Every structure is written in structure tokens, then in C-alpha cells.
Amino acid sequence: MAQEELQVTFDINTIDHLGVKLYSTIPPMIAELVSNAWDADASNVYINFNNEGEKTITVSDDGTGMTFSELNEHFLKVGRNRRVEMHKDETEGGRKVLGKKGLGKLSMFGIGKKITISTIKSGIKNTFVMDYKQLKDCEGNVYKPSVIDYCVETDEKNGTSFLIEQLSRKSDFDIERLYRNLQTRFHIYSDKFVVHINDDEKYKIKSNDIPDDKFQFVWRYPEDFEKDFDTEIDKFKDLFEFGKEKGVHGKIYTSQTPLNKAVQGIVLFSRGKLVQEHSTFDDRANDNFFQYMSGYFDVDFIDSSFEVDNCSTDRKSLAWDIDENEELYKLKELLKKLVSVSQKKWREERKAEKKKKVSSHGHNVDEWIKTLNPAEKTLAKKLTDAIIDNDDINEETAAEYIGCIKDMYSFEGFKQFTAELDELQELDNEHAIRLLTDWNNIEAKEYAKITIGRIKTIEQFEKFIKDNASERDIIQKFLEEFPWLLDPKMSKFEREITYTNLLKRNFSDETDLPDSNRRLDFLCTNSAGVIHIIELKRPRIRLKTKEIQQISEYVEFIETQFPQTQGHVKGFLISDNMTYEPGAEKVRKGLESVDIFVKSYSDLLAEARRYNDDLYRMYENISSKKNENVGE
């Protein structure tokens, strides 16, 4: 049998514009070959990106393959509309046909200049080579590819393979990126149609479902939008019903964190193939929402006609500008509305979830605001909303900021400061951040107020000492109101506690109660858990051995009754007359080795002054830093 010839009749401008220039990147070109495999009822597509030596791409499938005549009459025919010509909308295997324009074979010339195609059908193999340079140089716009195998009998299974060589690229293939891109180009993957990349299990594509852990919120059309359109004007109700009638379905989802720019926006599929790349469907897509939003919709109805083609040639977008195409116009308006509704839902649900997480950190914003008076509530809500609504502030930081605001509301200086903030119409991000940076200054003012108040308290205490005031009637009561005079680090403070009450609190067996029920002036615990027993004497009293012995007995009692306190109890006897009766001085010195001390009121005053000097220096320090920042 004489060998037949393969023949391509073409216009070189068609090859250039619809092949070389239109398909200049790998993913859409590969997508055309995957479509061919689908239409050939293949179960598997094998793609190999070779980075070794001269780079090549191989794409093969296990579909039905083609005979020599089918290559000539169908595959190599440029611009063939398979559906019109075959009067069929489905493959032999019952799949919806993806191919329509007959331009897929040209796509390979956008990547490589030499294409070797081998196809097997019913035990007959045909192989030929298409060379771009030869194609451009041929005469009469008729190109005859070089046939390598002509109707050769083989035991190999049905299928078609494409070897693309003489690639223009020099850099290595980014397999991970190609995998992700190809995964998002179809909705046809399943156990019955699998794409294998470089024989690597992790790059096997048999589903394009997005993992649930990628979502923060998901809204599905039509079910999750029914109520939103029920309350809308008739125009939007009509759009909703139009989408349902046309079988439009899909979902919009948002992530916890901003998405890669390449996957932001919504994609559209028809018959499982990408027909619209990522789009926001919003003319003013400058809101933070669009950094978190992605999704997809299946719009098969746009590809239902054999003659009308609503897709752009490169399948990157729908032909939205087609005149008088009412269905495309309605689809676009529907998608715009769905994006707008999702944007509103996102703000509401994200705010509610963020509030919930902030509450888990101990700050229930709504409950706290209820406790404020009417004059404070408005601004408190404005401040907390500015933090909750700020997408750049995570839950942990938001909880920290709101905790600070709650604390600051107990400061009079902060309330005065917020009066100025309340004049603002809106607390945007910049104002909110400026507010947070001003808190140190507000805190500094509070330190100053505390310091001034404590200095006045110290002066009053000093006056009581000079006047030899009664330790029980005046000094004890004064120290109970201002315990920081005894020690600023005290965390627990009890005045005039008896042995009996102390034991009742810690022991249920009342037989352990002592015969004598003594009274301690002050029982305190500091932040380190050390117990301080403090006995006060009138300032000018001359200390006797009896008083020193008394504080020693108190310490011994605590350590005996509560063994766990051993080594963690200190006793202090306080007066302002440091002269002792004979023998008392020696007893005092001996007791210091077991943490029992005699101190003067003057010592307390000196320590209180030192502590408050530190507070005042802190105030000056913060103020000076604030002034430096203003100067800058």
C-alpha cells in the first residue's frame, strides 16, 4: 500500500497569532492537550517536564488514539468545530466535549518549535513530526509533516503522545508551580481521569477540591445566598433566579491569611474547563477582602450552543464585550452581586469570630462595654471596633490591645484624652495605631498622678510619726488604707487577725486551737510568697525585751502550725525609738539571723520615698521619649 501524506492547509498569520503568540506560557498549552485527552476518553494523562540537558516536554494519554485518516481529516484541520461537524456534543464515553475551535494543536508552537506526535488506535501506530521553521518556509500555505511511522502494526495500547522540543526557555521548569496551575484549570479530575506529572505521587492530580483547612469561611451558591436575595429589590431576585435556572453553582471562600496573588479572585469553568481566569468581578477591588477571597463557579450554559462561542480564543476569559449577549450580561451582574454580598458576610463573620477568640483571652468586648456609662460606651465601641476590624491585627494582638484599653479606662487621664478622639468621624488604621502608641504617654501621666498622691500620703504619715500618734487608733488604720507604705510589693494584706481565725481558716479540727488567742497587727504576703508578720508600736515607745520576744513568738507560732511555711516567714517590729532597755539590743541582734527584724518608721518612710522616686523617674523617662518622637 502506497504511503499517504499528511497535510496541513493554513495561513501563516493564523499559526503565528493563534499559536506562537497566543500560547506563550506552558500551563494553557498543556491544558489544551489535557482537553484533547479528555475528549479522547482517556483515563490517564502523563506529563513529563525534562530539566536534564536540552529541555523537553512530553504529554501522553491512554485515550482512543487516531487513525491516519483521522489525523488528516480531523486533528490537522485548523479551525475545525468538532461539535458542528460531528453533530455530537458528547464523546463515545459520554463525556461533554471540551474542544470546539480546533486550535489546540497550534498551542504547542508557542512553547517549542519541533513537535513529534505519535498515536495508536486498534493496533496501528502513526508517528509524524511538525517543524515550525519548515512550516513557515513551505510554499502555497500547504505544509506536509514528516511521517516517521505509517500505519505500523503494534502491540501497544491505544493512546496519543506529544514530544515538544526546541523550547525557547533556558531556566528549569518549576514543577510545583506548574502542578498548582494545572490543578486549577479543570473541574474534570477524578479517579477516572487522572493527570500524572513526572511520575511523582505528590504531583498526581485526581481532584481539584480545596482542602477545608484553607478556608476560614465558605459560601455556596445558591443555597447560602437565598436569604440575602429574598430581601433585595426585584432586579437582584431576578439575577438569583436566572443563575438557578441556568444551573450556575459554585462557592466563594476566604482564607485565614492573605492569599497568593495568583489565586485571588474567582474562576469560571464550563464543562469542567477553565473559561475565566481569576477575577474580582468588582471595579474597585482595592479592599482588603479581595486579598483573602477566592472561589469558582461552574457556568456550563455559556457553552451549550454549537455555533455561538462565548469564550475568548485563549480560554482565559469570557467574551464579556459581545454585543447584545443578555445572558453573559446577567451572569456578570450576578457574580458582582455575589461578591458584594460575600464581602459583607466576610466582615460580619470575621468580626464575630475575632471577638470570640479575643474573649477566649479573657476580654469579652460586648460584656465589658455594657459595664460602661453611656458617655463612655460610644468611644469604647469605636476603639474596639477599629481593632477588631483591622485585618492587619491578629487575634492575640487584638486581645492585648483591648486589654490595654480596658485598663486605660480606669485612668482619668485616658478619659480626658478620649474626649479629643471622640471628635473624629472615623478611627481608621492610622488613627488606631497612633492611639495605641500614645498609651505610654497616658500611662506616664497616671504615674505622675500616683506619685504626687503618694508623696502627699508620705507627708501625712510622717506627721503622724512626729506627733507620736496611737498605733492602734491612727497608724494601723492609716496603714490599712495605704499598705504600700509598709512594702510596695505586698500582694495580700490582713489587719488584726487572731490566732483563732487563722487556724479556723486552715484547719477543720478545732481541738488544735490554742488556749491563748493572740492578735497579730498585720499579716502580709509578698509576690514571692514570703509571709510578713508586722507588729506596730507607738513611735516614741522605748522597746523592751518583751516586745522583741512577742514578735519572735508570733513567727514561731506560724512556722509551728503551718510547717510548709518553714523558712518563709519574717517578723518585723516597728517603732521610731531605737533605744532599748538593757539586754534588749543583744536579743534583737540575735534574732536577725532567723529573719526577725526591728525597723523604724523612718525606715519605712525612706523606702516609700525611694519607691516613689522610681515611679517619678519612670514618668519623666516616658515623657522625654514621647517628646523625642514628636520632635521627629
Task: Kindly write down the DSSP assignment for every residue of 117-145, as one continuous string.
Answer: EEEEETTEEEEEEEEHHHHHH-STTEE-P
Do 168 and 252 sit in the same domain of this protein? no
Cα distances (Å, whole numbers) of residue 86 to 91, 121, 238, 272, 442: 10, 19, 37, 21, 80
pLDDT of residue 218: 92
Domain at 581, CATH number: 3.40.1350.10
Q: Give the pLDDT band of residue 437 (cuts 50, 70, 90).
A: very low
> In which residue are the cell numbers 493512546 written?
159
pLDDT of residue 434: 55
DSSP calls for 170-221: -SPP-HHHHHHHHHTTBS--BTTBEEEETT-GGGEES--PPPGGG-SEEEEE
Do 310 and 375 sit in the same domain of this protein? no
C-alpha grid cell, residue 503: 487556724
Domain end position, chosen among 184, 205, 226: 205
pLDDT of residue 511: 45
> Per mean pLDDT, which of 6-20, 98-112, 556-570 is the most reliable?
556-570
- Is 227 domain-assigned? yes
> How many CB atoms neighbour CB 11 within 10 A?
12
* Phi-psi sector, 390: left (phi>0), alpha (psi -120 to 50), beta: beta
Q: Fill in the DSSP letter of residue 109.
A: G
Do 94 and 158 sit in the same domain of this protein? yes
Range in 240-254, 411-425, 528-542 the model is least confident about = 411-425
C-alpha grid cell, residue 504: 479556723
> Per mean pLDDT, which of 64-78, 220-234, 521-535 is the most reliable?
64-78
pLDDT of residue 435: 56
Give the strand pairing for 124-131 and 112-121: antiparallel
Do 475 and 522 sit in the same domain of this protein? yes
Domain at 120, CATH number: 3.30.565.10
C-alpha–C-alpha distance, residues 449 and 410, integer Å: 13
SS3 70: helix
> How many CB atoms neighbour CB 141 within 10 A?
13
pLDDT of residue 363: 84
C-alpha–C-alpha distance, residues 372 and 385, integer Å: 16
SS3 321: coil
Contact 77, 194 (CB under 8 A): no
pLDDT digits (tens, 9 = 90+) for 389-405: 777 777 888 888 788 77
- Is 282 domain-assigned? yes
Please, which residues have CB within 8 angstroms of residue 153's CB and are 6 or more apart in sequence?
Answer: 123, 124, 125
pLDDT of residue 458: 80
Selection from 133, 106, 143 nearest residue 6 by Cα: 143
More confident residue, 271 or 527: 271
What's the pTM?
Answer: 0.61
Is residue 631 packed enough to be buried (19+ CB in 10 Å), middle (13-18) or exposed (0-12)? exposed
User: Number of structural domains, the chain?
Assistant: 4
Domain end position, chosen among 398, 427, 456: 427
Do 158 and 20 sit in the same domain of this protein? yes
SS3 330: helix
Report the percentage of the chain scoring pLDDT > 90. Answer: 25
Q: Give the pLDDT band of residue 631 (cuts 50, 70, 90).
A: very low
Assign 3-class secondary structure to 297-309. EECHHHHCCCCCC
Is the pLDDT at 490 greater than 80? The verdict is no
Is the pLDDT at 232 greater than 60? The verdict is no
Please, which residues have CB within 8 angstroms of residue 411's CB and are 6 or more apart in sequence?
Answer: 442, 443, 445, 446
Range in 115-129, 267-281, 543-557 the model is least confident about = 543-557
Do 46 and 149 sit in the same domain of this protein? yes
C-alpha–C-alpha distance, residues 228 and 221, integer Å: 11
For the chain, what is the mean pLDDT?
A: 80
What would the mean pLDDT of 404-427 be, rounded to a whole number?
A: 62
Is the pLDDT at 294 greater than 70? The verdict is yes
- Is 623 domain-assigned? no
| Full strand arrangement of the beta sheet holding 112-121 | 146-153, 124-131, 112-121, 159-167, 56-61, 44-50, 194-197, 204-205
Helices (H) and strands (E) in the chain, counts: 21, 20
* Phi-psi sector, 497: left (phi>0), alpha (psi -120 to 50), beta: beta
- Is 353 domain-assigned? no
What would the mean pLDDT of 430-437 be, rounded to a whole number?
A: 51
Residues 360, 365, 371, 375: what is their CA dihedral angle, to the nearest 10 degrees?
A: 160
- Is 455 domain-assigned? no
Cα distances (Å, whole numbers) of residue 372 to 267, 356, 449: 48, 20, 23
pLDDT of residue 28: 85
pLDDT of residue 442: 59
> In which residue are the cell numbers 476560614 written?
216
SS3 319: coil
Cα distances (Å, whole numbers) of residue 214 to 210, 257, 281: 7, 9, 22
Is the pLDDT at 433 greater than 50? The verdict is no
pLDDT of residue 155: 95
C-alpha–C-alpha distance, residues 445 and 439, integer Å: 10
Domain end position, chosen among 187, 205, 223: 205
> Per mean pLDDT, which of 86-90, 509-513, 541-545 is the most reliable?
541-545
Report the percentage of the chain scoring pLDDT > 70. Answer: 76
Do 12 and 95 sit in the same domain of this protein? yes
Range in 144-158, 309-323, 536-550, 595-609 the model is least confident about = 309-323
Selection from 96, 97, 115 nearest residue 23 by Cα: 115
Do 189 and 236 sit in the same domain of this protein? no
Do 182 and 292 sit in the same domain of this protein? no
> How many CB atoms neighbour CB 121 within 10 A?
19
> Per mean pLDDT, which of 216-220, 300-304, 352-356, 424-428 is the most reliable?
216-220
Do 170 and 253 sit in the same domain of this protein? no
Q: Give the pLDDT band of residue 510 (cuts 50, 70, 90).
A: very low
Do 64 and 194 sit in the same domain of this protein? yes
Is the pLDDT at 219 greater than 70? The verdict is yes
pLDDT digits (tens, 9 = 90+) for 164-191: 999 988 889 999 999 988 988 898 999 9
C-alpha–C-alpha distance, residues 145 and 138, integer Å: 11
Domain range spanning residue 276? 212-348
pLDDT digits (tens, 9 = 90+) for 565-622: 766 888 888 887 767 777 777 777 777 777 888 888 888 888 777 776 766 665 566 5
- Is 259 domain-assigned? yes
pLDDT of residue 58: 97
DSSP calls for 409-455: TT-HHHHHHHHHHTT-S---HHHHHHHHHHHHHHHHHHHHHHHHHHH
Q: Fill in the DSSP letter of residue 53.
A: S
The neighbouring-strand residues paired with 252 are: 219, 295
C-alpha–C-alpha distance, residues 444 and 616, integer Å: 9
> Per mean pLDDT, which of 61-65, 219-223, 321-325 is the most reliable?
61-65
- Is 356 domain-assigned? no
Give the strand pairing for 44-50 and 112-121: unpaired
> How many CB atoms neighbour CB 594 within 10 A?
14
C-alpha–C-alpha distance, residues 325 and 337, integer Å: 19
Do 109 and 187 sit in the same domain of this protein? yes
- Is 80 domain-assigned? yes
More confident residue, 372 or 82: 372
